[in-house]
Amino acid sequence: MFVNNYNMDDDSISASTDVGIAVNDNCKNKEKLLPFIKYCLSCDVQKNMSEECMYLPVNSDAMEKCIDSIDEAIDFGDLIVSDKEKAIVETAESAAIRDYKYIINNITKCNLYSFNYLSDTYFNSSVISDIVDKYLNGDISKEKFIRQLSAATEIYLTE
């Protein structure tokens, strides 16, 4: 999993990700997925994905290795940069890394995709948004929500 968006409020941090693994409760062979999930969350895979795809890893060891790579990549070369300017860059980098680690270690809710991204799609903004709003506002039951969502999705897919 790689966090690409988060929201902080007074008592929780929610995160969303465009890359992740989800397992349905009805999955008959969950135990077979565990080795694959562990592999995906491993330091090497997380570090490689982070470097190749510009995602921020949730694996702490991978984050440390990525930080080391960033430190090696920051090269002021022939630029004339004062020690004070270098210290500012290092301080900003350190603060960003510290904040990211705090966020990763304190996530209380997680969504598979960023709501901001999904809300801009035709399906979400035009096909199901009213149904979702009614359910979230408590205007319709879970059963009615599922029926209406299924019907709207079926119509959408056949059009």
* Predicted local distance difference test score (pLDDT) of residue 82: 78
> Which of 41, 13, 43 is CA-nearest to residue 103?
13
* Cα separation values, 33 from 16, 24, 42, Å: 22, 11, 14
Q: Is 123 helix (H, G, I), strand (E, B) or coil?
A: helix
- Which of 41-50, 93-102, 103-112 tops mean pLDDT? 41-50
Q: Residue 45 has what pLDDT? A: 87
Q: Is the pLDDT of residue 7 over 60?
A: yes
* pLDDT at residue 68 tops 90: no
Cα distance between residue 50 and residue 62, in whole Å: 8
**Predicted confidence band of residue 22 (pLDDT cuts 50, 70, 90):** confident
> Can you give the pLDDT at residue 120?
55
Q: Which of 74, 68, 34 is nearest to 50 (CA)?
A: 68
In the chain, the amino acid numbered 94 is: S
Q: Work out the pLDDT band at 151, boundaries 50, 70, 90.
A: very high
What pLDDT, in 10s, does the model give residues 138-148?
A: 999 999 999 99
